[in-house]
Structure formats: C-alpha cells, structure tokens
Amino acid sequence: MFASVPLRATLRVPSLYRAGSVGTVALKPSLKETSSWTNTFVGSLGCNLRSAQDPSFISTRFGVVEGAALPRKVQAVLQNDVEDGVCSSIDKWIRLLPDNSGNSRETAVDRFVAEVLHVCDLDDGESTQLLPQEPLSFELDTLAVTSKPDHVLRCGRNPQEGGVFDVVTQDSKIAGPKQLAWGQVIGEMLAAALVNLEYEPKLAPTIFGIRVVETRWTFLRADFSVEYLTRLAEYRLLSNDRFDVWAWGGEAASVGTQQTSDVKWGLDYRSLEEREQLIRMIVAIGLEARGLAASLGSGKC
C-alpha cells in the first residue's frame, strides 16, 4: 500500500509557453515529422502548456491508487527490493546511463522506461496493449505528417484495432540551456488525438503523455474537442482556438519560476519518495485506459 508522503518542494517548473497567433505558420515539408516540431510551432496550433500543481489535473484516479491492492512486482519496486529480479533488471539499465552516449544511451533509457511501464501493467494483455515504435500518420491540410512515439497504448476489445489512448515518449538526450523541447511530445499527443478522431469520430479524446529525461518523469494530459481537431486537420484554425496541456512532475518550488533548463524538473525514479509518486501515476493512467476500453466495448464512448 502506498504511504501518503509529501514531496520535497525542490523541483522547478519548466519555462512554460502560451499560444500566440494561431494557424499562421506555413506547413512546410520540414514539419512532416512531429519529431521536428518545436515549442513555437505547437504554440501556433493553440497549445497552452501549463504546470499542474496537483496530480489530479493529470488523472483523477491518482488518489484511488493509494489504497489499492498492488501486484507483488510493483511492491518490490516501491520497496526497492534489490533481491527481486524486477528491480535488478531496471537498475541494470539505470547503471548504464552515465557511461553511455548516442545510441547506447538511448537504448538504455528505452529499456529502463519500457520495464517500468510493464511493471505497472500498463499493458494488461487483454483490453490494453503497449506497442513500441508504433507509427501514427495524419494530415494537416495537404501536408502528410508522420509521428513515431516510443510507445503508444491502444485499448478496446481488440487493442490492435482500438483507438490510441496514451502516448509515451522517452527523451534520452539531457536538455541543455535554451533547449526546452516539449514540442515533440505534444506533437505526438496531437497525432494520437487525430488518429482517435478517425477511428471514433464521436470520441472527444483525452490524451496522456509521459516524457522521460534520463530518470526523471513528467506526465502530461490534454483534452481535445472534436471541433478543434476537425479544424486542425483542415488547418483552418480560428483565432481563438486553444487547448491546454497540463504537465506534472512533482511539487514545484514556486509557481511561475523561470529557468533556462528543465533538466532538474520531473519525478526522479532514483528517489524512493518520488518513485512512489510516478509509479502511482502510471498505475492511475492504466486504470483510465481500461475504463476507456470498457466504454469502447460497450459502445458508450
């Protein structure tokens, strides 16, 4: 069972941005992959990136998980049971991080993140399926865009054919000064929402994102309207088109704190206190996914 403990208020909020002029950027070939999307571009699509001071902004199931019965492997991770194979496997990839660069470092982060997600049963083998490197394709007006999140979570009676619910991205490159790279993950969330719209037009998608820099985890949530997504696909956005993306990575030192790098922001898996919070959020997102899968199966979406 989770213990209810406050986080140390030492984490700092990222330098958040607000939408400027909406729909005014030319759709050039350089934007055909969401991996190249910048903060400025997603801002021009109406994105307001906001810092969530409370985890309930991300998932209302976060509090439910506190008293829930959790699988043995989750308990082992929370207790840092070094004798348990699950913990030793995750720790192996963490140990490889400081001594690697380039592709080797990216592989270590990918494996670290994948193992944590599977420990939390994000993929339940029935109604939800976690797929690595699943490509998503959509159109903005005449521009064909591709997106390749490190993971997507599909849900429904047949997850292979279900709508995309949750987008997971890993970033193994530590952000440097003036490199607050949030555009890519928000682009992947938009890609998932547009794919959802095609799969189930009546479903106004809620999309979750997980951004990992080394061992620090930040959770995101965006709620899109069908009307906005329809206008986005045609790239005929209105001047007042906006959508909020809430980001939570633990308590912040102060609201609105400005900084030149977000390296230090996010829940650090290496801290047992912060690990509890990030594990709890992943489990909560899994509960939300299975809830959506049930609604898709019943036709009540």
DSSP of 186-249: HHHHHHHHHHHHHH-TT---EEEEEEEETTEEEEEEEE--HHHHHHHHHT---TT--EEEEEE-
Token pair listed for 173: 């490159």
Q: List the beta strands (DSSP E) in 24-92.
A: 47-51
Direct distance between the N- and C-terminal alpha carbons of the chain, in angstroms, rounded to an integer: 32
Going from the first residue of the chain to its last (301 residues), give the mean pLDDT of each consecutive group of 10, the final group possibly shorter. Answer: 33 54 88 92 92 90 80 86 86 81 76 91 84 90 93 72 68 53 89 87 82 90 93 94 91 45 75 92 90 68 43
Q: Give pTM, 2 decimals.
A: 0.86
Query: Are 40 and 252 contacting, i.e. CB atoms less than 8 angstroms apart?
Result: no
* Virtual torsion, Cα 259, 33, 107, 126, nearest 10 deg: 110
* C-alpha span between 263 and 214 (Å, rounded): 9
H-state helical runs in 45-182 = 62-65, 72-78, 85-96, 102-119
Question: Phi-psi category of 43—alpha, beta or left, where left has phi over 0 and alpha has psi -120 to 50?
Answer: alpha
Residue (of 141, 147, 131) closest to 35 by Cα position: 147
Distance of alpha carbon 96 from alpha carbon 147, whole angstroms: 28
Report pLDDT for 115: 92
d(Cα 149, Cα 210) in Å, to the nearest integer?
A: 10
Angle at 270 between CA 277 and CA 64, to 5 degrees: 15
Instruction: Classify strands 143-147 and 151-155 as parallel, antiparallel or unpaired.
Output: unpaired
Task: Spell out the domain ranges in the chain.
Answer: 29-298
